[in-house]
Amino acid sequence: MNAAQRAGRLGIGIIGAGHVGPILGAALAGAGHAIVGISAISESSRERADAILPGAPILTVPQIVQRSELVLIAVPDAELEGLVAGLAAASAWQAGQLVVHTAPGFGFGVLAPALAAGAIPLAIHPALAFTGTSVDLARLAESYFAVTAPGPVLPIGQALVVEMGGEPVIVEEGDRPAYAEAIATATSFSRAIVGQATGLLAQIGVEQPGRFLTSLVRSSVDNALGLAGGPTTAPDPF
């Protein structure tokens, strides 16, 4: 049975216990899928995995790939290509297995070694500044996700996004670098401006400058997004 024909629960394994992987895993678990395990190396990543996915087994990366119907790869962009290729060299990927990565700058092409083994490649990136806490789960419902995949399996990626509570938007393979630049620009600009403004307020003795600016920043972002053709009420980027 291929992935497009599957119904009901998928066994999901998560590679990476940073800010993104456990949150998306929890969202998929909330949609009825089963978490078979998560990889977590550092003490902080283990604590995060336990907090967001209590009871989920901590497994090695090969164990996760071996046991999962859907492998969710949430690692830094610089690690993605080598990880996928290394697992292919070890003959770890399985035919019919869904392989999803969350790196904004890559489409499904980076998953070519898994595709060559018969896996189904999907690139899904949530446009959200993650905190790595349960707060993110509520924010997913207000977020858009970039979905890039071969045409026949695009509906699978879109369906996974809907299950996580988000809104899927198709981004073409060749447009992923520009998409990643847009995401990086919005994220870094927001942090820099808020950091500068709160620093100035702190210098003049304003207590809790972040809270002081909350309504101003959110309304300013709402207004700017409205002028750009965005939603009337914007997803909170902070």
Supply the pLDDT for residue 4. 38
Residue 230: band (very low, low, confident or very high) from pLDDT cuts 50, 70, 90: low
Task: Write out the residue range of the structural domain in which residue 215 sits.
Answer: 178-227
Percentage of residues in the chain having pLDDT higher than 70:
92
pLDDT at 95 over 80: yes
Supply the pLDDT for residue 119. 98
CATH code of the domain in which 32 resides = 3.40.50.720
Say whether both 188 and 94 belong to one domain.
no
Task: Tell me the mean pLDDT in the region 29-47.
Answer: 95
Record the pTM: 0.83
What distance in Å separates the CA atoms of residue 144 and residue 128, rounded to the nearest whole number? 8
Supply the pLDDT for residue 231. 53
Strands (E) located in 115-205:
120-126, 144-148, 167-170
What tens digit of pLDDT does each residue of 150-205 get? 999 999 999 999 999 999 999 999 999 999 999 998 888 777 888 888 898 889 89
Supply the pLDDT for residue 189. 74
Does some domain include residue 62? yes
Say whether both 161 and 186 belong to one domain.
no
